Amino acid sequence: MKEQNFNNHARMVPLYHYYSTVILLAILIGSVINLFHTSEAGVYSASLITVLTVLTGLSLYFSRSFALKAQDRAIRSEENLRSFIMTGKPHDSRLTIGQIIALRFAGDDEFVALSKRAADENLSPKTIKENIRNWKPDYNRA
């Protein structure tokens, strides 16, 4: 597996992130056009297709959203434990979930200092990641 760093740590799954979105959008546009151009006898089936398309889109969105929320909670717990092991205290309550997620890539040698700096200076997640010198890869992310 290629070594992970700031430039390549984001994971994109083309079939999910690009193709499914474009296909779903095309189906939605087609179903709406069909709904407005159908005869009176076909309105019911055309509206069902449109509603099912919207429902499919919402299902895809929420299934990914809920999975990411669960992953965020797990990362917060892991990093809280990491902070407790290294400092004897949980992470600073001023840190946002985005900052905590960014800090997970920091090596142990810089984690404590970067956590304090992130809380004190309210660094953005991107800035935190850019300031990591010893990148700790996460190859198990979803």
pLDDT digit string, tens, across residues 38-81: 999 999 999 999 999 999 999 999 999 999 999 999 999 999 99
The rounded distance, in Å, linking the Cα atoms of 69 and 104 is 16
The count of other CB atoms within 10 Å of the CB of residue 138 is 13
Q: How confident is the model at residue 141 (pLDDT cuts 50, 70, 90)?
A: low
Per the CB < 8 A criterion, the answer to whether 126 and 134 are in contact is no
Look at residue 33 and tell me whether its pLDDT is greater than 80. Answer: yes
Look at 139 and 29; give whichever has higher pLDDT. Answer: 29
Q: Which residues contact 97 (CB under 8 A, 6 or more apart)?
A: 72, 76
Q: What is the pLDDT of residue 32?
A: 96
Look at residue 24 and tell me whether its pLDDT is greater than 80. Answer: yes
Per the CB < 8 A criterion, the answer to whether 89 and 83 are in contact is yes
